Amino acid sequence: GAVVSQHPSWVICKSGTSVKIECRSLDFQATTMFWYRQFPKQSLMLMATSNEGSKATYEQGVEKDKFLINHASLTLSTLTVTSAHPEDSSFYICSARDWDGRNTEAFFGQGTRLTVV
């Protein structure tokens, strides 16, 4: 089946620095990818929808200048957490779907555990 690869799986960074997370669709082209954040014992919360070749669409309450999304190719989307602070520590997950005109399943990356110290 289709695979979405996310890297890194975990990262520890100092407060004030930036961190980039990559999400790749390995065997299909993803014109749209989704970025989620998940806090402990909570469900996934959609942060933004990443569209290849255009600006991302952010959910209400998500700061677009803090969470920079770039979707420069059909197989790669990146999320950069800028000027990270301890409250940004969370589990970040990307997702992509292989749109083929039918309602298909979503594939998820392995997730990235971000810890800001």
Partner 1 sequence: DAKTTQPNSMESNEEEPVHLPCNHSTISGTDYIHWYRQLPSQGPEYVIHGLTSNVNNRMASLAIAEDRKSSTLILHRATLRDAAVYYCILDSNYQLIWGAGTKLIIKP
| Residues at the site binding partner 1, with contacts judged by CB under 8 A | 4, 6, 32, 34, 42-46, 49, 91, 93, 95, 97, 99, 103, 105-111, 113
- For partner 1, the closer of residues 38 and 82 by Cβ is 38
- For partner 1, the closer of residues 88 and 98 by Cβ is 98
| CB of 92 closer than 8 Å to CB of 7 | no
Strand arrangement, sheet containing 19-25: 4-7, 19-25, 76-81, 67-73
d(C-alpha 89, C-alpha 1), whole Å: 31
Least distance CB 109 / partner 1 (angstroms): 5
